[in-house]
């Protein structure tokens, strides 16, 4: 029987997801552009996993994600992030995409939602930088 203290991982052509009880982090590594339905479904799964497993950190590696559709950008800001904010999450890190349209969309979403949520969201260039910040004992507002 799988319990919340067991690691949970799944891999699809679009994304790899890992819920790690040791680091208390849910990591999503996008492999390429995912159609809107797949994109939203994976992010909905992320909310469920964080809530069910009591995870504290979220890492989204967007480097290979590609563009985010405007409708998905609006959905992120108005629906998904508010649900994520109710999970007890403490920090979220995003590794930026080289795709300019993805980066612009993520910047807009973070700028829109950050004032209304209790956990900080930070943008990084590499997964190593993101992980160092996520797991740092430093004040989460820094």
pLDDT at 8: 87
Tokens of 3: 């319990």
Does position 17 have pLDDT exceeding 80, yes or no? yes
CB distance 43 to 16 below 8 Å: no
The 10s digit of each residue's pLDDT in 86-127 is 999 999 999 999 889 888 999 998 999 888 899 999 999 999
pLDDT tens per residue, range 28-45: 999 999 999 999 999 999
Domains of the chain in start order, with CATH, are 8-134 (3.30.750.24)
Q: What percent of the chain has pLDDT over 90?
A: 73
- What pLDDT score does 2 carry? 56
Q: What contacts 7, CB < 8 A, 6 or more positions away?
A: 18, 19, 20, 21, 22
139, pLDDT greater than 70: no
pLDDT at 79 over 80: yes
User: Phi and psi of 124, rounded to 5°?
Assistant: -135, 165
CA distance 91 to 141: 9
Question: Does 133 score more than 90 pLDDT?
Answer: yes
Average pLDDT rounded to a whole number, residues 128-135: 96
Mean pLDDT of the chain: 91
Check whether 141 has a pLDDT greater than 60. no
């Amino acid at each position: 029987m799988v319990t919340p203290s067991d690691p949970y991982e799944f891999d699809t052509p679009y994304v790899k997801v890992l819920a790690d009880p040791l680091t208390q982090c849910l990591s999503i590594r996008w492999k390429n552009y995912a159609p809107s339905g797949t994109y939203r479904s994976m992010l909905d799964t992320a909310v469920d996993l964080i809530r069910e497993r009591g995870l504290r950190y979220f890492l989204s590696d967007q480097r290979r994600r590609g563009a985010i559709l405007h409708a998905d950008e609006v959905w992120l800001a108005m629906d998904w992030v508010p649900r994520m904010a109710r999970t007890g999450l403490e920090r979220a890190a995003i590794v930026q995409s080289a795709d300019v349209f993805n980066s612009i969309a993520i910047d807009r979403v973070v700028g829109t939602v950050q004032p209304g949520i209790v956990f900080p969201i930070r943008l990084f260039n590499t997964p190593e930088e993101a992980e160092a910040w996520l797991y740092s004992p430093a004040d989460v507002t820094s």
